[in-house]
A and B are shown apart, each in its own frame.
Chain A
């Protein structure tokens, strides 16, 4: 059975701090790993990663995948209160055509 484990489960930081969120996985027939952000409503897409070592960036957020060690990290630099959310990691099993999610990391950024 496919498995995704995120750590830490929750994190409290102050504005301006840098945070690193972790996602490890076990999945047969890996196709891609995706990060989503959820702010009290539906999750929204952040990044899709399919190849090892290629960093994806969007403003202060970046992510990278290691397919050998089976993990990904999501970095947020110079955090802002608007970054407060649950960050979800999901992996796609191509054969099944479905995504398996981790339990998420709840990030709280204090002013």
Chain B
């Protein structure tokens, strides 16, 4: 996972508390993504960013917000965590797909969140 780190790697919290997950990259890639992965499902996109202060929603964005104030950091916030948000969260980065014609994602190691 060189070049992309997630923190914390594990977190247990209670329903109703706020939670922030951090993704940090040293690759200077323009695009950053937050996915969640649940048993029986692949990766579902929560939010993504295509530049500093430029973000957009994914397919499962309800209950989540993001911020990107610097190229290297992408924060995912659960304002009031619920048990349905218990999951493994992956951050990913990529270069500009429009320029390269591809979108090879490099993933962080994942953050396992348990909401009791």
Contacts and interface: CB of A to CB of B under 8 A. Distances in A.
Given A31-B97, A42-B108, A43-B107, A101 B43 contact: yes
A99 B94 CA distance: 11
Interface in B28-63: 31, 33, 35, 40-45, 48, 50, 56, 58-59
Contacts of B44: 101
Given A42-B1, A97-B31, A98-B48, A92 B42 contact: no
Contact of A97 (B40, B42, B103, B104): B103
A67 to B, nearest CB: 14
Contact of A104 (B33, B42, B50, B109): B42
A41 interface: yes
B97 A92 contact: yes
A36 B35 CA distance: 15
Interface in A39-75: 41-45, 48, 50
A31 B102 contact: yes
Chain A interface, >50% SS class: strand
B90 interface: yes
Contact of B43 (A1, A43, A50, A96): A43
B105 interface: yes
A32 B108 CA distance: 22
Interface residues of A, number: 27
A99 B105 contact: yes
Which interface residue of A31, A41, A42, A48 has the most chain B CB atoms within 10 A? A42
A42 B109 contact: yes
The 9 closest A-B pairs by CB, nearest first: A42-B107, A101-B42, A92-B103, A101-B43, A103-B42, A104-B42, A97-B97, A45-B104, A32-B102
5 contacts: A45-B104, A97-B50, A98-B103, A101-B43, A104-B42
Given A6-B42, A36-B105, A97-B31, 20 more contacts: A31-B103, A34-B105, A41-B109, A42-B90, A43-B105, A43-B107, A45-B104, A48-B102, A88-B43, A92-B97, A97-B48, A97-B96, A98-B33, A98-B48, A98-B58, A99-B45, A99-B105, A102-B42, A103-B41, A104-B42
